[in-house]
Amino acid sequence: MRFKFLLVLVLVLALSFTLLAADRNYKGITIRITVNQAGKEGAISGPLYKAAEIWEKETGGKVEIIEIPFTQHYSKMMEDLISGAGNFDASLIGSWWLGDLVAGDFVVPIDKFYNSGKHPYWDKDWLPPSLQTLHKWGDTWYGVPNDSDGQVLYYRYDVLTNPEYRKKFKEKYGYDLPVPPKTWNQVLDIAKFFTGWDWNGDGEADHGFVMHLKVGGQGMFHFMSLSAPFVINPENPKLYWFDPTNMKPLVKSPGHKKALEFLLELIQTGPKAQVSWDLGEAWDYFLKGKAVLTFTWGDLGSLAQDPNRSKVRGKIGASILPGTLESYDVVHNKWVKFTVDKPNVVGNTTGGSWHGVIFKHSKHPEAVYDFLSLMATKDFSLWNVANGWTGVDPGWKIHFLRPIGVASLREYMNYGWDPGDVVEYLAAYYDNFYADLIFPYLMIPGAFEYWYALDVHLSEVVTGQKTVDGALDAIYKDWEDITDSYGRKELLKLYRESIGWTKDNDAEYKKYH
């Protein structure tokens, strides 16, 4: 706790020096901002309290933080906006909420505040294009950056480079154990090889792979990331979710089906209990050294540095998620083949990328922007991503090491990072967010309802309640009902806008449909 206090003190002093140069007086103003409920030391909400301490000291304003349980946050926010009650000035939103907020004309563009030069400094160009997309609609920016969600592969570098294990792996599978694995097929071979025996010497049988699959625990995000290269490819860089001419779901495509069949095979290499685990339980299994592989968000890499929670500090590698050897092109209705040397790899921005937006009914939009922009400054943001408990993940130029970015290895080591871990970790996130292909993020109204239906029916598959085909049929039906409830014509327009689908794209698509 003493070390954490000193780091916060250094952060406060650094930011104070930066902010004193600006004439920012918000005395007598109170801004109210909603956030997922996790407490003063919890993910996403915790950093708000730290930022509020700094902002109140420097501006004289006050920040009231309203924590709302994740499962209720979106609905309570929308209820307030639709009713016109105006109880909140801003929110730290999941990026998939932005379509609802823009369509309802509930949020304020931030460009005039950003361009004024009067507020704490951050640069839009710090963010790669894949992350910029989550903060704007078309060319208009609505979000102030904070978190950068994307999923990468984590693996035990020390285990995969063990000479004895490598020899046995080659004897069994006929090829050198790849570090890191480049394809999902290689991941499956590795996971199978390390499942069911005591490779870590703790006297118990261990596993090759771990993930979480509890309904409501965000497990559907992992299926999205895993399935992306089974569907998205150079021949089809945009279509995963819906037919762009009629909003019919694409979830029953051969690529989606093959991905779900693969997931079922992969989870057999993990502990049986993972079907009811939440995110933290799966993370802890890996952090305790009980699994060789997992894929998840940036939190895991930073949590691995915590000696009170992790046994794997200094032992982990990370990479962009593996690719596939074939991918179904839903535009041209055909399978596209790839090679082991050049598999089909797709980067992702899967997750919330929780960031601030300003509500149109706020009486103090400039003060709100000033506060939100504080969290996007270099000093505050680097402190955020270097500390695992904050829930804020890396992805910007200011987070990456020189010469790719502007951060130094020493800065991360000062926060307790193992140097080898941080180099692997940041390289994986750079490769992910700057990948040639990026999984298309769903930002239209109803996104969370689509995802919840996906979550429920995925759980039914992994628990044996439904077959793969039965689950895909159920997802398709639910998605159709959701689309009809929102209005197919309006959603189709917004969907096409959100993925940048043009009339030229229509012409090519209609040749095959």
What CATH number is given to the structural domain containing 60? 3.40.190.10
Report which of residues 9 and 394 the model is more confident about. 394
Tell me the mean pLDDT in the region 16-26: 59
The answer to whether position 133 is within a domain reads yes
What is the per-residue pLDDT across 180-234, written as a single tens digit (0 to 9) for each? 999 999 999 999 999 999 999 999 999 999 999 888 888 899 999 999 999 999 9
Residue 47 has pLDDT above 50, yes or no: yes
DSSP for 289-324, please give it.
Answer: T-EEEEEE-THHHHHTT-TTT-S-TT-EEEESPPBB
Q: Does the pTM of the predicted model rise above 0.85?
A: yes
Residue 71 has pLDDT above 90, yes or no: no
Let me know: does 232 contact 464? Beta carbons within 8 Å: no
Rounded to a whole number of angstroms, the CA Rg of the chain reads 23
Let me know: does 373 contact 119? Beta carbons within 8 Å: yes
Tell whether the torsion through CA atoms of 182, 184, 187 and 192 is positive or negative. negative
What band does 374 get if pLDDT is binned at 50, 70 and 90?
very high
Report the 10 Å Cβ neighbour count for 292: 27
Residue 5 has pLDDT above 50, yes or no: no
Cα→Cα distances 236→166, 347, 389, 471, Å: 37, 14, 38, 24
First to last CA, the chain: 61
Residue 152 has pLDDT above 80, yes or no: yes
CA separation for the pair 94, 265 (Å, rounded): 31
The answer to whether position 42 is within a domain reads yes
What band does 249 get if pLDDT is binned at 50, 70 and 90?
very high
How many folded domains does the chain comprise? 1
Residue 447 has pLDDT above 60, yes or no: yes
Which single residue is written with the structure tokens 């150079």?
A: 234
Residue 258 has pLDDT above 80, yes or no: yes
Going by the DSSP 8-state scheme, the letter that residue 116 receives in this structure is H
pLDDT at 6: 42
The answer to whether position 116 is within a domain reads yes
The answer to whether position 474 is within a domain reads no
pLDDT at 11: 54
Residue 410 has pLDDT above 60, yes or no: yes
For all residues of the chain together, what is the average pLDDT?
A: 94
DSSP for 271-286, please give it.
Answer: -GGGGG--HHHHHHHH
Tell me the mean pLDDT in the region 246-255: 98
- SS3 label, residue 497: helix
Helix H or strand E segment including 226: helix 219-231
pLDDT at 17: 38
The answer to whether position 199 is within a domain reads no
Picking from 104, 107, 173, 176, the residue whose alpha carbon sits closest to that of residue 140 is 107
The answer to whether position 240 is within a domain reads no
Residue 13 has pLDDT above 50, yes or no: no
The answer to whether position 261 is within a domain reads no
CA separation for the pair 156, 201 (Å, rounded): 14
Tell me the mean pLDDT in the region 52-79: 96
Q: Detail the DSSP E strand segments found in 216-297.
A: 291-296
What band does 15 get if pLDDT is binned at 50, 70 and 90?
low
The answer to whether position 469 is within a domain reads no
What is the per-residue pLDDT across 74-110, written as a single tens digit (0 to 9) for each? 999 999 999 999 999 999 999 999 999 999 999 999 9
Picking from 301, 284, 249, the residue whose alpha carbon sits closest to that of residue 424 is 301
CA separation for the pair 390, 344 (Å, rounded): 33
CA separation for the pair 368, 364 (Å, rounded): 6
Let me know: does 32 contact 64? Beta carbons within 8 Å: yes
Domain of 106 in residue numbering reads as: 2-148+351-394
The separation between CA 82 and the C-alpha centre of its own chain, rounded to angstroms, equals 28
Let me know: does 105 contact 445? Beta carbons within 8 Å: no
Residue 19 has pLDDT above 50, yes or no: no
Strand-strand pairing, 152-156 and 316-319: antiparallel
Tell me the mean pLDDT in the region 311-329: 98
pLDDT at 219: 85
- Nearest 5 degrees, angle CA 477-CA 98-CA 453? 20
Picking from 281, 233, 229, the residue whose alpha carbon sits closest to that of residue 258 is 229
